[in-house]
Structure 1
Amino acid sequence: MNQRVQEFINQQKIQAEYNKNMEKAKVLNDLGLYDKEYSENPAWSEKYPEYEYDQVTHQGKYFRKIPISVTDEEYAEILKYSNIAINQDENNGTKSGSNSIATVFTVIAVIIFIAGFFVGLFLGEEIGYKFSIGVASICWGSSFLSGMLMLGFAEIIKLLNAIKNK
């Protein structure tokens, strides 16, 4: 194998391992699975960006989060029981949080909102050649409620699908 190709492959492996470790650290920190290392300096710094107030000494302390050490098996188990796994699937483009029926309900809700707005304008203008805000408001209100009902159904379906995929 060409030496430059081998160097490139090795560099990509190192980068992939680094990215994996950074993602693991972020997940553990987000879940509160970290230790705190406090700064000796009472001022903020990039190394110690987090702040906490100590009730005993009545002073603030800056600290940094250090994720606890876990094995790959423990990390997989943590992801299994956390909501972060669902969010990662959605961010990676998989459709575990999506459902075609939920999408249809969302589209119907948007159509109801738009059609209700224009129908309200049309009906409000029809009565006596003068715009009637009362008639338009009734139409807008009913289309808003119908659209929100459809959005509610879509959200329920999405949540049930997410629970099913856990």
Structure 2
Amino acid sequence: MSTPKYINPEIHPATTKEDKQKCIDVRVKVCTDELKLPIEYQTQNADDAICDHWLATAEEKDGERVPVGTIRLLRLNERVGQLGRLAVLSDARGLQLGKKLVYAMLEGAKAHGFKEVYLEAQSDKRAFYEKFGWVVEEADKETFITAGVPHYKMWMRSIPQEKLI
């Protein structure tokens, strides 16, 4: 049995410039290095400055805590937020970080008073988001292309009010 590369994952709001840069660094590793998407998609995004970000970190074998995942929440208006830029390093998958990051973001959405959250899911990630209650509505049933990848627009019209994390 192999020893996991990471242990003791934690998620916290990324409020400092340094933590927000770590979020971008994780996105570049996942989206640019792994998925081969254009780097500009991750590094030249004006929304980053106005979004809430969360950073997942975990301990390596030597005890050093390193960034391994991220998610962000964009305020669209007083009622609606947008989940975006969920990314978890490939060797940190299996720690349930995607789920934990989504729950942290939903808690943030509730704290902002949002009633709805939508996202643009890569088509192969649709089932992941459906597990949380997001749905593809009739008007959004066709995929659209972003950065060369098919996506679905998905909605959560009512954010669960019980504590999720």
Greater helix content:
1
Q: TM-score range by the shorter chain?
A: under 0.3
Find the structure with the greater CA-based Rg.
1
Greater strand content:
2
Q: TM-score, normalised by structure 2?
A: 0.21
